[in-house]
Structure 1
């Protein structure tokens, strides 16, 4: 039987998704459905039960995928090479944009849109990976692989690069990974975790205000209400939840109905999208994605891709799998089996938090990060910290 001493376990974190799913039944936006299609509700409940079943089916002794071990000099070279490449690609993107985004807030420019329109294909994944470098640098410092000064410099560079793109989800990943690296080596109480969670929510709203180029809560709220098609009197927090979560469940409902009516099956092209992207099968024209069923772009929650592939069976199997993997990753992290579990579990938690938004489990960046993290932390030189 599972017993959790930490609220950071997958079941607790997944309950946030369940809360947002329940909240979506409140028709706050005029775009929301008054009720869901019966199959949509069946997917809701089967997804939850399948995820929990996967969690309880976890291994008692989670094991790490074995790769050839690197020497300390090789790890340091790979570490510095990752940082340098991340900086260089970031600078190239700044040249394409024509200005430093963070220094041009309030200048009448659509900074967020312009920054995202001038990204370097594939190379930008290394820029995004800089969100994880402060966490990895902290781990390297605690294991005495680098000195404190290098940790501070890498952290400052990572923060500066990520903040420049004003992407709340990437800033969230940076903070999550840094928190998990800290909690891996230092015991953190549940109360501190809750306070940090509230701070993350405050950060989300603050960055949203920066992007809206206003610090007035009412102005921001009215702007978001207009965008979300809300004419009711609601608080800013309700507007955010409706816009970034509830409407996505309606999109999911629309996609389910369209998929069923057209008897559409993806047969794995959506679930295997990271591999397809890596092999450029879509760019070569060997795999075609119909924009009408593009749940990732249309923001149809994390459940739509496996359903688009194999309908209800796909949703059940996918949720069981991520429940199984989430619990095993958590156990590796909690038992301090290896330092690679720090970033890996950060990515798992990140995907679960973003679940009401879209499916980051199937994002190429997530799998790219898992691979690069495995290389950076692949050593026999780890010093195991004291148990919690």
Structure 2
């Protein structure tokens, strides 16, 4: 594997970095950046800037107006965009829209893509993805899904409660996961597309959460006899869990890419401060207690970047990367949190204030160890794979598994 970036990609990385620093960082103090995320008005203004710079939707195929980046290309550009938490919003690569665009491109019909993907790819609309449910429904264990979709003639009638639904407020459409019943038989989970607002789709409440970087915040959604035409099934009936994996494997990595950029920003702020702030006869950086913390940050940044780009390269080679993405998601989410935590510690009292961006990054990045699968669930899945491998190796020679 050649770790050197192609010249064109290196130039795009530099252009994205310059755009974020010059055009996006000044918006970080904008009052439209609220506790429930950037307002749609702010999002549209940022998107317009990225569009003018030729950087909008770099992950989307050129036929839909994007740059058609490879997974490795996304690893490079998404990190550069993540240097500001508003960068992914501007480039239209923030969750959940980025993952939903990937899913639509992979699964949706041409008519569905013209209706849902096309306006989202150019930054006109937003979306949401409804899978997670409150107790006792589906969380880390999707097999516990309680939401149902019952076939009635040419429609499905959906009932259930979803929560921690990112971007539901103001979304133009939703992708809804539900356990599907056809002729009285449970045929498995299905994904449904529905325009919003819609009768039967009600935002029960906005959730106050630790993070604040997602447009539309997070909500609890009540689905009450939501009628979805059979023509708005996404893909095939009963294939929802398979499609969810097709969405989540690359989405785990794109989360890592964006948050690595934010961690680098926190590290840069802390390093600059430590090189200027003096105490006990020298700068903070000259004292091993803090200098070593920043050195550990450099190590975590470097190794995390290599892990992400290697996993992205595997995807580009057509190799299945489910286990790989799980390992990278655990490693990256924990390494990135360590980087931001150390950065805040180096800043001391300043780190506790909103005089720098580190305080906000610290709050937002904590959730990364939970969403798209908590670290413990990924470790459990990796351990199960190890157990299966050990069982196969322990079989007498000549016996099939």
Give the TM-score of the pair, scaled to structure 1: 0.25
Structure with higher helix content: 1
If asked which structure has higher relative contact order (CA below 8 Å, sep 6+), I would say: 1
Give the TM-score of the pair, scaled to structure 2: 0.25
Structure with higher strand content: 2
